A and B are shown apart, each in its own frame.
Chain A
Amino acid sequence: MNLKNISRTTRQNLVTYAIVIVAFAVIQVMSAAGMLSNSLTGQLIPICSYIIMAVSLNLTVGVLGELSLGHAGFMSVGAFSSAFFSVAVGDALPTWLTMILALLIGTAVAGVFGILIGIPVLRLQGDYLAIVTLAFGEIIKNLLNAFYIGIDGSGLHISMKDANALNMDESGRVIIKGAQGITGVNRMSTFTIGFVLVLITLVIVLNLIHSRTGRAIMSIRDNRIAAESVGINVTKYKMIAFTISAALAGMAGALYAHSLATVVAKKFDYNTSILILVFVVVGGMGNIRGSVIAAAILTVLPELLRSFSDYRMLVYAIVLILMMLFKQSPQIRSFCASVWERLRFGRLQAFFDRKKAQNTKKGA
């Protein structure tokens, strides 16, 4: 294959895939050679799900240009629905089939929630949209904390009071136990599944961005009114981006849920949403490869620097503020640009001087 004939974006995408595949291969080799510590091995599946979360949030924040503060809510929906399915099914199906179905269910349910929440939310913009997604994240957490769902011969029983209010017969099992969440989840997730899901996510998101739909979404981000006036259906494309983002978050949730024995709603709170946002901002808004790298490094770093872990969120907060100041403030930017210009100009000057010297030597 001739690399020169491939367009620049395709090449960039291939580089992203290559990074992920190489990282996977390296980790597999290291793990086979016993070079990975236990804590790091335990982090592999969370890393994969955080990467998927970051990439999917980047679709909303970086590509669509709207801030979502309830992304963990979709993760939570995916985690609960998939874990509910796999616990309800138990050993009735082969493990691999249960896992695939659980992933599909987590993705689909979160996608449906994305549509349901998107309908009211996407009519708003900017600050309002951010606060409403935050509100939805909190509502989902609150409701999941209060839900009791059991299953018996006659079907599903739902209650918001306690397990006894479910009124089940003897064969009944309580699956979602309110604030205790879902216990006894089969830990079926493996690093390989996580890796495959990361690749699937990348294929979906990268292809979406570089498609006609993706360009329409980005045009809404850059200038909504101009996009509308050239006939782009703003609501439709916003919905597409938001729903795909939610569905992918649900998939990440399903992956994550099956790496834990117990799934509780508390794990997917506002702090998780902010953590994912930090990954996206540090990796660069709109830059998918950046999200992948930032999510991986920022999840591993605190694990490696244990003594530093108290300051982790503090440092993240400072990084968030500094990134915004350096990227957006005109004064700070022009200052940086002048410093950079001087550095670069100095270097170029030196380069030309050397060239000149060489040429004169050749001429002589």
Chain B
Amino acid sequence: MEFLSNLVNGISLGSVYAVIALGYTMVYGIARMLNFAHGDIIMVGGYICFIVMTSLGLPSIVGILAAVVVCTILGITIERVAYKPLRSAPSLAVLITAIGVSYLLQNLALLIWGSDPKSFTSVVSMEPLRLFDGSLVITGETIVTIVVSAIIMAALTLFVNRTKVGHAMLAVSEDKGAAQLMGINVNATISLTFAIGSALAAVAGVLLCSAQPSLLPTTGAMPGIKAFVAAVFGGIGSIPGAMIGGVLLGIIEILSKYYISSQISDAIVFAVLIVVLLVRPAGILGKQIREKV
């Protein structure tokens, strides 16, 4: 029973990672850059939702919508201001810029909202589910997280594979130059990718803060990095890969926290990354790309 409840918690955490990893993987697939600020957009989403719900006293659905809108705008703005001018720059420069943006968001949040943790009110008002005569308790947050993540993943898969805009995204990630020649607006497509990724990050932020109700300017950093690990695990650039990687990573984290040691569970998660990169650098579902000389 213990194992089962840990497994469910792991899947729940893992589906949040998966939603975050989707943003990473889409941006990486299209812009070929590691968006370090992605994790901090999660944090911004959490804070916006907190303000709308707690300070303004509006219903949770308004909070979630506000978080999604603000994060989408933020994502597009960051792309326009910081990343777009560097599209042809070496990856080291883009990476350092992304770290700068991440740091900027964290420190702005620190100045605006202070360093004391805010206690986030859960957006879920569902009764916990009791199975097997109460020996397995699944909280409402867990259920909602898993369901919402599953819906997001399904919708995103349909969007990318079935719509014209989705095909444009696939084309840009395959070959920017050729896509442009086929009449695809590459800049708009990249902006759209950032918008979708940031909106997903906002949802992930609300889900994450509902499950772990303490909000800090650094809340997003760790989940962001772990979601990147998940994206690499599943194969960066691949949408189903991000989902599988996220869920697996969540399960690994919760199980190692429970059965090995809570202090070194992060170390184990990162060790997974290193092992994956050594054994199969392309990840579970990634394509092995040969380097052209």
Contacts and interface: CB of A to CB of B under 8 A. Distances in A.
A352 interface: no
A316 B103 contact: yes
A130 interface: yes
Contacts of B107: 313-314, 317
Contact of A320 (B91, B99, B267): B99
A292 to B, nearest CB: 20
B261 A146 contact: yes
B139 interface: no
B81 to A, nearest CB: 8
B140 interface: no
B61 interface: no
A126 B92 contact: yes
Given A67-B92, A128-B277, 7 more contacts: A67-B96, A127-B95, A130-B95, A135-B271, A277-B99, A324-B86, A324-B96
A147 to B, nearest CB: 10
A320 B111 contact: no
Interface stretch (A39-47, A233-241, A326-334, A341-349): A326-334
B281 interface: yes
Contacts of A314: 104, 107-108, 111
A249 B187 CA distance: 42
Given A314-B111, A324-B96, A138 B91 contact: no
A328 B108 contact: no
B183 interface: no
B203 interface: no
Contacts of A127: 28, 33-34, 91, 95
B232 interface: yes
Contacts of B225: 131, 134-135, 138
Contact of B85 (A132, A317, A320, A332): A332
A139 B103 contact: no
A11 interface: no
B270 interface: yes
A322 to B, nearest CB: 8
Interface residues on A, range: 35 or more
B126 interface: no
A314 B217 CA distance: 13
B272 to A, nearest CB: 9
Given A314-B108, A320-B96, A329 B89 contact: yes
A159 to B, nearest CB: 11
A145 interface: yes
A170 interface: no
Residue with the greatest number of chain A CB neighbours at <10 A, chosen from B34, B96, B225, B264: B96
Interface string B80-94: 001001101111111
Nearest to A275: B103
A160 B264 contact: yes
A145 B266 CA distance: 12
Nearest to A311: B111
B129 interface: no
Contacts of B100: 317-321, 324
Given A131-B273, A135-B270, A332-B85, A321 B34 contact: no
Interface in A131-159: 131-132, 134-136, 138-139, 142-143, 145-146
A325 B82 contact: yes
A209 interface: no
Contacts of A123: 278
A321 B91 contact: no
A231 interface: no
A313 B274 CA distance: 30
17 contacts: A131-B228, A131-B232, A134-B225, A135-B270, A142-B263, A142-B264, A142-B266, A142-B267, A143-B264, A160-B263, A313-B103, A320-B96, A320-B99, A321-B104, A324-B86, A328-B93, A329-B85
A87 interface: no
Contacts of B90: 328
A-B pairs with lowest CB-CB distance, top 7: A320-B100, A329-B85, A328-B89, A135-B270, A317-B104, A317-B103, A321-B100
Contacts of B271: 135, 139
Given A143-B264, A277-B99, A65 B85 contact: no
Contacts of A325: 82, 85-86, 97
A146 B277 CA distance: 25
Nearest to A327: B93
A145 to B, nearest CB: 6
Contacts of B88: 330
B101 interface: yes
B86 A329 contact: yes
Given A317-B103, A321-B82, A124 B277 contact: yes
Contact of B274 (A120, A318, A327): A120
